[in-house]
Amino acid sequence: MNKKVLQTLEYYKIIDMLLEEADTPLAKESIRHLLPSSRREEIISWQTETSHALMRLLKQGRLPFHGLTDIRPSLVPLEKGGVLGMGELLDIARCLEIAKDAIAYDAKFEDLKDALSGRFGALMDLPDLRLEINRCILSPEEMADDASSELKRIRRAMKTTNDKVREQLTATMNLSGSMLRDNIVTMRNGRYCLPVKQEYKSTFPGMIHDQSSTGSTFFIEPMAIVQLNNELAELGMKEQEEIEKILASLSALAAPYAEDLQRNVLLLAELDFIFAKAKLSKKMQGSEPLFDQDYIHIKKGRHPLIPKDKVVPIDVTLGKTYDLLIITGPNTGGKTVSLKTVGLFTLMGQ
């Protein structure tokens, strides 16, 4: 369709309003590419879907899709035996949570069969996968201690060793306070260090890891905690190895469901897109139009971009007994708005 016509009739402003009603990036992308159709069957199908979504909206409220991301890029390596990161696995779990909520939402309508039933019916929850991911992963950066017994053991050992390091550092600061720039503990190269004055760098027992920009302070790892720091470093490597094993296990658990997960995200995005149209229809107090190739009849039509307290409703009838409509009147009398209303209604209906 001619882009200038769409701009003149302010079609893209309606698209912007529709974008605000969608929750997911995939649905928003579909909305950005939404153009009026010239195929009658397609138009009727779209209108029916919107009307059925509006009916569900009015009876059971909104269906939230917040947090749904496009997980399809993660499914490509998954199908090839790859290992996903914590954030990617959480995105999969979130997709399944939204699918679960959508299935429960649809169940409220009992035996209803409408234009959306097929999409709802094709969704899969996969509770075992969803619950296991959420049990093991707390955030995109944090694995739960209870993700495995080995990880729990390693982290307990790390805590015990850290406690010993802090005790030894406290004792060192108490004994060597005059040598220190401040009574604080810093990290340098992953090692616990103390800020030692330049004049004591040769007499303070330990390993130098860094110095201040002025050269007046040296960050030294006290010799008393070198072995403990080594133990912490080793435990840190073991922790990372165990996390990788857990991620590999979760990825292997998800891999057989790659196709189901892809179908889920596409179905949920489609539902978000359809419900966005229904939410905008509700906000505009719109109604489903009946299409006729030779007849236009608009009763109390209100231009959707004019505030409700200022818009003047119009009645327009054209076709059947006559096919010519002449609009006259003074400037700022509403002629252009009336014509744009008819044009915009036609685009929105399509």
DSSP string, 229-263: HHHHHHHHHHHHHHHHHHHHHHHHHHGGGHHHHHH
Pick the residue with more confidence: 303 or 329? Answer: 303
Average pLDDT, the chain: 92
Q: Write the pLDDT tens digit of every residue in 83-122.
A: 999 999 999 999 999 999 999 999 999 888 999 999 999 9
Give the per-residue pLDDT at 342. 83
Give the per-residue pLDDT at 337. 85
Q: Write the pLDDT tens digit of every residue in 299-312.
A: 888 888 888 888 88
Give the per-residue pLDDT at 332. 67
Give the per-residue pLDDT at 291. 75
Give the per-residue pLDDT at 303. 87
Pick the residue with more confidence: 182 or 28? Answer: 28
Q: Whole-angstrom Cα distance, residue 97 to residue 139?
A: 15
Q: Whole-angstrom Cα distance, residue 211 to residue 188?
A: 10
On the question of pLDDT at 175 being above 70, the answer is yes
Choose among 28, 111, 36: nearest CA to 65.
28
Is the CB of residue 89 less than 8 Å from the CB of residue 144? no
Mean pLDDT computed over 206-235: 93
Choose among 93, 152, 154, 156: nearest CA to 127.
93
Q: Which domains, from first to last, does the chain contain?
A: 3-146+247-284 (1.10.1420.10), 149-244 (1.10.1420.10), 295-349 (no CATH)
Q: Write the pLDDT tens digit of every residue in 211-222.
A: 999 999 999 999
On the question of pLDDT at 196 being above 90, the answer is yes
Mean pLDDT computed over 117-142: 97
